[in-house]
Amino acid sequence: MSDAAKKDTPEQAEFRAYCQDWLADNHPGRPTVKIPQGALELSDPDALKWLKQWQKSAYDAGLIGCDYPKEVGGGGKTNCQAIANAEMQKAKTPYLPNIIGMGMAAPTVFFHAQDEVKAELLPSLLSGEHIWCQGFSEPGAGSDLANQQTFAERDGDNWVINGHKVWTSLAHFADWMILLCRTDKSDKYNGLSYFVVPIKSALGKGVTVRPLIKLTGETGFNEVLFEDFIVEDRYRLDEVGKGWAVAMTTLAHERGAGPLVTPSSGGMSLEEGESVSTSNAMSLVDLAKKQKRSGKTAADDAVIRDEIMKLMIRREAMSQNGRRAGVPSLVDHPMRIALQGKLVATELNQDMAELAYQIEGMASTLYVNDESAPAGGQWPLAYMNSFGVTIAAGANEVQRNILGERVLGLPKSK
């Protein structure tokens, strides 16, 4: 028995055993269609369909949304989502497609929506039946998120929305969007309001979704245009003018620093026999042992060895930071480790992918459309895609401002 299991409450222990039993019988097996590296890269409807089936079966079994109350479609348990996540990771399951829904929309709806809206939206969100996207970024509001120009104007019991959102991952599949917009032009922060809006049902009726092409050549994210898009007032979260505070709930969960644990699964390798994953530095060791360099393998090169060890140490430190964050007496400031999460994980991911493609040498020039590419060309692709996450959700430069100001108490840089 693992030590994590030894520390379980009775409810957690029973649930862990249940998860293990269920996963032993219900792992979906190898995908029948080609699945991209992450949910944000999804562009093939058949890949989405296959992953939605997996999310639905895990939800129906009670492994997703375990810590949400039963009235909103959850499992009504306490501190059990982390256990389901760990067991799914251990069982090497596929990832879940509705990641923006579960990671950002669900906690925000849960903490800020009216009760009947929670009951209406959360069950189909958690089951993955309805895919969600996030309407925060705009052409003029990236790192300076509060500079929102999309405008919602009140019209009786409705709002009329006009504006332009960009970098909207999954919008091409999304049924719903979390939307931050301006309701008062005279006050930057107190002039914002937050809505949940049904975009798929309004396509061609005030909502237009257009794909943006990433530097990799993949699609996956979009721009979304609103022209007199009408939304019912009951889909407003919290009060008019409180949008910035509601957005903080979203961002805290996006950075892994919110009170609710996001359902997640993963661990399944996408290429048969190839380990292309930045979740464990051993994938770099395996790669280095296969690649030739100066008449030996890359794993015999002292400099390559040192670089791999640096990343392995950072990877272990990230895990141990997570462990220490749960021991209050070993953390001097309550947000110090939590607010590092996004920054540390995305830079490590980028650096691991960079070292991996460099280990491949000249073969790293071969892309996913070349049959000779090592590991299917996935390492250089992972490197290029890694910039999506170092930029998204507040560029890492903004994360460093947040840490410097909120945790270290340095003066604000504006």
Partner 1 sequence: MSTQPKNFGFGEDETMLRDSARKFFTDNCSADKLHGLVATDPDIHRSIDSVWDKDLWQQIVDLGWTAVCVPESAGGIGMPAVAAVALAEEAGRAAFPSPMLSTFNATFVLNNCQSEAASQALGEIASGKATTLAITDQAGSWDSLNTDVGVNSDGSLSGTAYFVQDAGKVEQLVVSAKSSAGIGLYLVDVQAAGVEMIADGIIDLTRDQAHVVFSNASATEMAAPGTGNEIIDKAMPAILSIVSADMVGAGEWLLQTTIEYAKTRVQFDRPLGFFQAVKHPLVNVMLDIDRSKSLAYNAACAYDTDPDNAMGFAHMAKSQAGEMAVFSSSRAVQFHGGIGFTWECYVHLFFKRQMHNQVLYGDAKYHRALLADKVMGAAA
Query: Which positions are annotated as active-site residues?
Result: 254
Name the amino acid, one letter, at 91: A
412 belongs to the binding site for partner 1 (CB under 8 A) = yes
Around Cβ 122, how many Cβ atoms within 10 Å?
Answer: 24
248 belongs to the binding site for partner 1 (CB under 8 A) = no
Q: Which region among 78-86, 207-215, 267-275, 396-404 touches partner 1 (by CB under 8 A)? A: 396-404
329 belongs to the binding site for partner 1 (CB under 8 A) = yes
324 belongs to the binding site for partner 1 (CB under 8 A) = yes
Query: Taking the complex as a whole, how short is the minimal distance between the CB of residue 4 and partner 1, in angstroms?
Result: 7
CA dist., res. 94 & res. 269, Å (int): 8
Listed as own residue / partner, the contacts of 184-189 with beta carbons closer than 8 Å and 24 or more positions apart are 184/241, 185/151, 187/241, 188/146, 188/147, 189/146, 189/244
Looking at residues 2 to 21 of the shown chain, list those that interact with partner 1 (rule: CB under 8 A): 2-4, 7
Q: Which is nearer to partner 1, 154 or 292 (CB)?
A: 292
Q: Which region among 120-128, 203-211, 260-268, 319-327 touches partner 1 (by CB under 8 A)? A: 319-327
The residue within the footprint of partner 1, chosen from 156, 204, 273, 411 (CB under 8 A), is 411
Q: Which is nearer to partner 1, 269 or 320 (CB)?
A: 320
Binding mask 272-301 for partner 1 (x = CB under 8 A): ----------x--x--xx------xx-xxx
Query: What does 32-91 look like in DSSP terms, one character per residue?
Result: SS---SSGGG---HHHHHHHHHHHHHHHHTT-SSTTS-GGGTS---SS-HHHHHHHHHHT
Positions of E strands within 253-325? 292-293, 296-297
Query: Taking the complex as a whole, how short is the minimal distance between the CB of residue 15 and partner 1, in angstroms?
Result: 17
Query: Taking the complex as a whole, how short is the minimal distance between the CB of residue 147 and partner 1, in angstroms?
Result: 19
Positions of E strands within 174-322? 176-182, 192-198, 207-212, 221-232, 236-237, 292-293, 296-297
CA dist., res. 126 & res. 103, Å (int): 10
Query: Taking the complex as a whole, how short is the minimal distance between the CB of residue 406 and partner 1, in angstroms?
Result: 11
Q: Are 192 and 120 in contact (CB under 8 A)?
A: no
CA dist., res. 66 & res. 63, Å (int): 6
Q: Which region among 14-22, 190-198, 245-253, 336-344 touches partner 1 (by CB under 8 A)? A: 336-344
3-class DSSP state for residue 155? strand
Q: Which region among 107-115, 167-175, 311-319, 361-369 touches partner 1 (by CB under 8 A)? A: 311-319
Largest CA-CA distance found in the chain, in angstroms, rounded: 75
According to DSSP, the residues that pair with 292 across neighbouring strands are: 297
The residue within the footprint of partner 1, chosen from 34, 205, 210, 310 (CB under 8 A), is 310
* Interface residue list for partner 1 (CB under 8 A): 2-4, 7, 282, 285, 288-289, 296-297, 299-302, 305-306, 308-310, 312-314, 316-318, 320-321, 323-324, 326-327, 329-330, 336-337, 340, 343-344, 397, 400-401, 403-405, 407-413
